[in-house]
Amino acid sequence: MTDTSFVSHLECSASGERYGNDRLHGLSSTGAPLLVRYDLSAVAAAVSKAEVASRVPDMWRYREFLPLPHDRARVSLGEPMTPLIHLAGLEAEIGAPRVYVKDEGRLPTGSFKARGLAMAVSLAKYHGKTRLAVPTAGNAGAAAAAYGARAGMEVFVFTPEDTPDVTVREIAYHGARVFRVNGLINACAKIVREGTGHMGWHDLSTLEEPYRIEGKKTMGYEIAEQSGWELPDAIIYPTGGGTGIVGMWKAFAEMEEMGWIGSKRPRMFAVQAEGCAPIVRAFLEGAEFAEPWENAQTRAAGIRVPGAIGDYLILGAIRESNGGALTVTDDGEGP
Ligand SMILES: *Cc1c(COP(=O)(O)O)cnc(C)c1O
């Protein structure tokens, strides 16, 4: 069988420079995230909404929009479509017409990191990698460890020293080698970057390889399909490294180009913790890039990301959508 995917090329998110789909990519030559591009007219000829609707309800039902060649083995632990749960009580409390939460906790290892890592590890395996490494505040490490184990690969995880014990043990139980680092996630990321050469690691850091976004964007496809291909008015998203917002925004553009949805977009809102809010600060200042946040502190470990390499992509999606960015305290108090 031949390798079948609809990927046409990869594109630097900053300069637009094109890259071939013939090898495993990291960042662009200028150090910016790469985005995967598809031949969407070929996809449109190959698959319909009705066809997608007839498939198994998991993230792979959107396979024509995903970078793994269709005849290649997925590294999968079963990634179900997650439900939109209607929150009637909250609607009454805040006076909103319709509120749903997408329960991403039902994915393997308990977070939506599974979507991105299922895809990134699948591509790493396809390209013959045997050693993975990831810096993480916790959930990405658990997912990398689980999917790496599934693929029979060695996994190295670096996590801030104050990462909860339960998370460190979860990663270790999956068989990964996990190290607590004297610093925050950016210190962990530096170790991983430096080890790609002599340790032979494939770097799975957020947006440093282009495939986690592709997995994560399936949230956008699911929301569209579950809403009858009519997007909601607003999406409120807990924002760390930004693969979710950037991925969903990319999914919406792809679906519109396919003619599967109209031009209506949700207003995209990034929510960050009061003690670590670089994107919110940059948004309020009208800046294109976010300065790193000093002394990042929050109990919400998954969003304790003081600096995001895709900051301009997150801010771009928020602004283009006429959305916003806001903080909450660790006790859940809004602004
Ligand atoms: C990683 C993570 C986030 C942030 O997601 P991004 O798409 O990287 O911005 C939010 N919540 C939880 C629980 C996470 O694990």
Question: In this structure, what is the dihedral angle of CA atoms 21, 25, 28, 33, given to the nearest 10 degrees?
Answer: 100
| Cβ 269 vs Cβ 315: under 8 Å | no
Output the residue whose Cα is nearest ligand 1's atom 13: 302
Average pLDDT over residues 130-156: 96
Name the pTM for this structure.
0.96
Does 238 sit in the ligand 1 pocket, CB within 6 Å? yes
Output the residue whose Cα is nearest ligand 1's atom 8: 241
Distance CA 83, CA 101 (A): 8
Output the residue whose Cα is nearest ligand 1's atom 14: 302
Position 185 scores a pLDDT of: 84
Distance CA 171, CA 78 (A): 19
Condensed to tens digits (0 to 9), the pLDDT of residues 28-47 reads 999 999 999 999 999 999 99
Return the beta strands (E) in 50-91 as ranges: 84-86
Residue 224 confidence (pLDDT) above 80: yes
What HEC string does 168-236 produce?
HHHHHHCCCEEEEECCCHHHHHHHHHHHHHHCCCEECCCCCCCHHHHHHCHHHHHHHHHCCCCCCCEEE
Average pLDDT over residues 205-222: 96
Condensed to tens digits (0 to 9), the pLDDT of residues 235-248 reads 999 999 999 999 99
Distance CA 316, CA 314 (A): 5
CATH-assigned architecture of domain 113-210: 3-Layer(aba) Sandwich (3.40)
Domain spans in the chain, listed from the N-terminal domain onward: 113-210
Average pLDDT over residues 23-27: 93
What residues have CB less than 8 Å from 94, skipping those under 6 apart? Answer: none
3 state SS of 254: helix
Residue 335 confidence (pLDDT) above 70: no
| Cβ 52 vs Cβ 225: under 8 Å | yes
Q: How confident is the model at residue 1 (pLDDT cuts 50, 70, 90)?
A: very low
Average pLDDT over residues 112-117: 98
Output the residue whose Cα is nearest ligand 1's atom 2: 302
Q: Which has more pLDDT, 319 or 300?
A: 319
Q: How confident is the model at residue 334 (pLDDT cuts 50, 70, 90)?
A: low
The first and second tokens of residue 55, run together, are: 């498939």
Does 243 sit in the ligand 1 pocket, CB within 6 Å? yes
Paired sense of beta strands 131-135 and 202-203, if any: parallel
Q: How confident is the model at residue 109 (pLDDT cuts 50, 70, 90)?
A: very high
Average pLDDT over residues 100-126: 97
Residue 184 confidence (pLDDT) above 90: no
Work out the percent of the chain whose per-residue pLDDT is above 90.
Answer: 90
Distance CA 72, CA 62 (A): 15
* Average per-residue pLDDT for the chain: 95
Does 185 sit in the ligand 1 pocket, CB within 6 Å? no
